[in-house]
Amino acid sequence: MKGFCENCRDMVDYSVKTVNKEKTIKGKTIRYVGKEAYCEECKEEIFVAEIRDYNLMQLDAAYREAEDLIKLTDIERILERYDIGKRPLSMLLGWGEGTLTRYVDGDTPSKPYSDILKRILVDKAYYRDLLEQNKERISEVAYRKSMTATEKISETEGNEISKLESAVKYLLMQTSEITPLALQKLLYFAQGFKKAFADTFMFEEDCEAWAHGPVYRDVYHKYREYGYNPIEEGHLSYENINLSDDEKELLDHIILYFGCYSGKILENMTHSEEPWRVARRGLVDGERSERVIEKQDIDAYFKNVKEKYKMLNFTDIKDYTKDLFSKLYA
Ligand SMILES: [Zn+2]
């Protein structure tokens, strides 16, 4: 890699370092992991446009995370999921017609606008109503295209819900009082042990290394209103649960060995484990992050646990749980 060094007055080779950076935006200190380039000749820092762009992107992501604002990729997911354009969606919402276009180009949405978009992403019934009630604001073609896409989602999700949604539903039905925090941790352990025992992951979705442990983002948004209280969801039924008998059995054992602990204890357990720690390298305690916990790290860690504890079947998981607990609290 070559860049211009002011000091050497020449194009030079440079090396890149990963560094913790911070910037104050609207009176709030935003911390993020950025990069810096150094001249290989004189070791001074040099300016590289790509690195500046990279840092701006990282800062933007950290700012959104700190303000709890929707991610750019999630806005793109909305447009794709409901087959709706930026302009028609702005119109449906009664916003300025260029609003979504600006957001997709990188403008940061305000908190209220961001919250509406987040809800649209995870709540198709909400979007469907929005589309139906405001259809006269958009063209007939745009309306029909989006309604078709939305109905298609309803069908597939109604018949075969994702493994993640199935596991959530199953866990909610098999436990009497579970908080969003504890639910997230049970999902994470299920993902890890499923891979260790069956060599396939239970969920396609990745979880992220948030301050309070591993989190599946969509599940978080669905139940965030419960805060630290148990989730109360009425009218659940065993119908349409897309899990094999083996997966149900694993979840039963996860409930048995991990479900007895509070969300806080489970959080501390996940904090002591490698995958979450690796994903949060360079971050300080409590710092917001949306970094993905890589599947390969989950795989390696739980495979190792299974070997170390000589696990043959699901009941052997209890040795690991007991050990984790006594290491933290004994
Ligand atoms: Zn130099």
More confident residue, 124 or 171: 171
Distance 46 CA to ligand 1 centre (A): 8
Distance between Cα 18 and ligand 1 center (Å)? 19
Q: d(Cα 286, Cα 220) in Å, to the nearest integer?
A: 17
**Same domain? 176 vs 277:** yes
79 plus 200 within the same structural domain: no
pLDDT per residue over 124-150, tens digit each? Answer: 889 999 999 999 999 999 999 999 999
| CA 24 / ligand 1 centre spacing (Å) | 29
Mark whether 44 and 133 lie in a shared domain.
no
pLDDT per residue as tens digits for the range 89-106 = 999 999 999 999 999 998
Host domain of residue 197:
163-329
Domain count, the chain: 3
Same domain (yes/no): 168, 312: yes
* Range from 38-42, 54-58, 151-155, 282-286 that averages highest in pLDDT: 38-42
User: From the CA of 37, how far away is ligand 1's center (Å)?
Assistant: 11
Shared domain check, 240 and 134: no
Question: Of 318, 320, 296, whose CA–CA distance to 307 is shortest?
Answer: 320
Task: Give pLDDT, residue 197.
Answer: 96
Q: What single-letter amino acid sits at 176?
A: S
Residue 23 CA to ligand 1 center (angstroms) comes to 26
How far does residue 16's CA lie from ligand 1's centre (Å)? 14
Please report which confidence band the pLDDT of residue 186 belongs to, taking 50, 70 and 90 as the band edges.
Answer: very high
Contact 34, 25 (CB under 8 A): no
pLDDT at 117 over 90: yes
Single-letter amino acid code for the residue at 147: M
Are residues 137 and 91 in contact, defined by beta-carbon separation less than 8 angstroms?
Answer: yes
Determine phi and psi for 58, rounding to 5 degrees.
-65, -40
72-81 and 111-122 helices cross at what angle (nearest 10)? Answer: 40
Q: Choose one of 111, 131, 159: the last residue of a domain.
A: 159
Is residue 213 within 8 Å of residue 184, measured between CB atoms?
A: yes
Same domain, yes or no: 312 and 192: yes
Asked if residue 82 and residue 37 are part of one domain, the reply reads no
**What is the helix (H) or strand (E) element at residue 178, kind and residue range?**
none
The pLDDT value recorded for residue 320 is 96
Say yes or no: 138 and 188 in one domain.
Answer: no
Last residue of a domain, one of 12, 35, 66: 66
Are 155 and 172 contained in the same domain?
A: no
Q: Tell me the CA–centroid distance for residue 58 and ligand 1, in Å.
A: 26
How many helices (H) and strands (E) are present in the chain, helices listed first?
A: 15, 6
**Paired residues of 24 in beta bridges:** 29
Domain boundary among 66, 101, 122: 66
Confidence at residue 155, expressed as pLDDT on a 0 to 100 scale = 65
pLDDT at residue 154 in the model? 64
47 and 84 co-located in one domain: no
Q: For the domain that residue 9 is a member of, what is the CATH number?
A: 3.10.20
Residue 248: both structure tokens together? 């149900």
